[in-house]
Chain A
Amino acid sequence: MSAIPQALGADVRTQACPGGPLLVRGAEQVVALDGSVHDVLRPVVALCRCACSSRAPWCDGAHKMLPPARRPGAEDVR
């Protein structure tokens, strides 16, 4: 399974969505796979785990275009 973006913050809580993104609460910044740093402007953000998002590091729902077997699994959490 591909790498996922890193969430930075003092009290980061995560929740993996089977077949979908990683939900993150409490993050202040997110580091994308290309090293770029993004400020978090929402109370909860969804980080792409399928590497198909057109708005990486954020999820854009693109995992739904993948066949279910190729979507990210619930076990793939740091």
Chain B
Amino acid sequence: MQPTPSTGRAPGDLPIARGPLSRHVLDLLSGDPDVDGPLVDLDVSSDDPLADDDLQVALWTLYELHFRGFTGIDPGWEWSPRLLHVRRQLERVLLAHLLNAVAPEVDAAMAASGDLASRFFELCETYPGPSLSSVVGRQADRAQVLDFLAHRSVYQLKEADPHTFVVPRLDAVTKATLVEIQFDEYGAGRPDRVHQHLYARTMAAAGLDDAYAAYVDDVPAQTLALSTVVSMLGLHQRWRGAAVGHLAAVEATSSLPCRLYAAGVRRVGLPDEVATFFDEHVEADAVHEQLAVRDVCGSLVRAHPELERDVLLGAALCLHTEVRFAEMLLAAWADGSTAPTGRAERVPA
């Protein structure tokens, strides 16, 4: 196997700031979380938070404190009121935008006839947007397939982790089925089968940097949003229904697209090992989608009917962020850009 190139970013490095919001967060992190400081009100207005590099880098950094943290940064920052105050402002802007964007689809799914499972699958199968998997499977060239793999790595290398935060917030029946899915995501007792690890092997076999968050400085807001939106849902008890709906939508939109991704990988002549991750998901997610929609979402809504809208909302948020990601990537490819690096416009630090 060829040596894996590095993006120059080591796991645990802070990201590069892309504007005043992310600069503010990074400045705070360079200090001492135990020293009291002011709660700063920021100008968080944004025309389009899903396309706002600065806002998404700031949020990704804040959430990452709850996952792996950063080298040389005091882990005490995770629960710093000063940082949580920033996070709350950013989340309000993002949430307001998202709730507005998906309201028509969620309303339609609530009003449709049929049981929750049939309405859920219908929402996933008919959500409007381009099919990135068809392009990757049938048309994309080698550079574009590699670009796709690099973008997806920001989320796939922490796949399942954001949803795991929701486990202690659920009743026993819902919890049991969710953990059945997560157990499989985490390799069913075999560390070499952990899906995050399978994706790292995909990256290495494709000659891309396989380190956690290696491409975080190189991808635009829409790619970061694949991680930040689900992190927001997973970290808020208030959004437990949406977190579960998000998970079920991930699973319900995986099997058929992963078959196309695997076909695309092989079509452009990348090694078979690059496709292994996608092969695994064709089969695993055909199981997971049924468990997630019927048993996880189903049991949650049977016990808590008031959460039905949140479950469908979470699904729509997953589908919407995927559509925005697909539109961004397909537009970049149409412009002739296929580099997995350097697309983001940076504001000098």
- Write the residues of chain A forming the contact surface with B, with a CB cutoff of 8 angstroms: 17-21, 23, 41-46, 54-55, 58-62, 64-65
A–B Cβ pairs within 8 angstroms, 28 of them:
A17-B294, A18-B117, A19-B118, A20-B290, A21-B287, A23-B290, A23-B291, A41-B188, A42-B184, A42-B284, A42-B287, A44-B180, A44-B184, A44-B287, A44-B291, A54-B259, A59-B283, A59-B286, A59-B287, A60-B256, A60-B286, A61-B254, A61-B255, A61-B282, A61-B285, A61-B286, A64-B121, A64-B125
In chain B, positions 232-290 with a C-beta closer than 8 Å to chain A are 254-256, 259, 282-287, 289-290
The residue in chain B whose Cβ has the minimal distance to the Cβ of A60 is B282
In chain B, positions 284-329 with a C-beta closer than 8 Å to chain A are 284-287, 289-291, 294
Residue from the list B117, B183, B256, B283 in contact with A64, Cβ < 8 A: B256
Contacts of B291 in A (CB 8 A): 23, 44
Contacts of B290 in A (CB 8 A): 17, 20-21, 23, 46
Contacts of B118 in A (CB 8 A): 18-19
| A44, B290: Cα distance in complex, Å | 11
Total B residues in contact with A, Cβ cutoff 8 Å: 22
User: Per DSSP, are chain A's interface residues mostly helix, strand or loop, or mixed?
Assistant: loop
| A20, B289: Cα distance in complex, Å | 10
Given contacts A44-B291, A58-B283, A58-B286, 11 further A-B contacts (CB under 8 A): A18-B118, A19-B118, A21-B290, A44-B287, A54-B259, A60-B255, A60-B256, A61-B254, A61-B282, A61-B289, A64-B256
The residue in chain B whose Cβ has the minimal distance to the Cβ of A58 is B283
- B287 contacts A46, CB within 8 Å? yes
Contacts of B289 in A (CB 8 A): 61
Minimum CB–CB distance from A38 to chain B (whole Å) comes to 11
Contacts of B184 in A (CB 8 A): 42-44
Minimum CB–CB distance from B173 to chain A (whole Å) comes to 14
Minimum CB–CB distance from A29 to chain B (whole Å) comes to 16
| A71, B254: Cα distance in complex, Å | 19
| A46, B290: Cα distance in complex, Å | 9
In chain B, positions 203-233 with a C-beta closer than 8 Å to chain A are none
Contacts of A46 in B (CB 8 A): 286-287, 290
- A60 contacts B180, CB within 8 Å? no
Contacts of A20 in B (CB 8 A): 290
Contacts of B183 in A (CB 8 A): 43
| A55, B262: Cα distance in complex, Å | 13
- A60 contacts B287, CB within 8 Å? no
Contacts of A42 in B (CB 8 A): 184, 188, 284, 287
| A44, B118: Cα distance in complex, Å | 21
Contacts of A58 in B (CB 8 A): 283, 286
Contacts of A55 in B (CB 8 A): 282-283
Contacts of B286 in A (CB 8 A): 21, 46, 58-61
Minimum CB–CB distance from A15 to chain B (whole Å) comes to 8
Contacts of A23 in B (CB 8 A): 287, 290-291
- B188 contacts A43, CB within 8 Å? yes
**Proximity bits, B184-198, A CB within 8 Å = 1, else 0:** 100010000000000
Contacts of B188 in A (CB 8 A): 41-43
| A42, B291: Cα distance in complex, Å | 13
Given A43-B180, A43-B184: A60 in contact with B259 (beta carbons within 8 A): yes
Contacts of A62 in B (CB 8 A): 256
- B180 contacts A61, CB within 8 Å? no
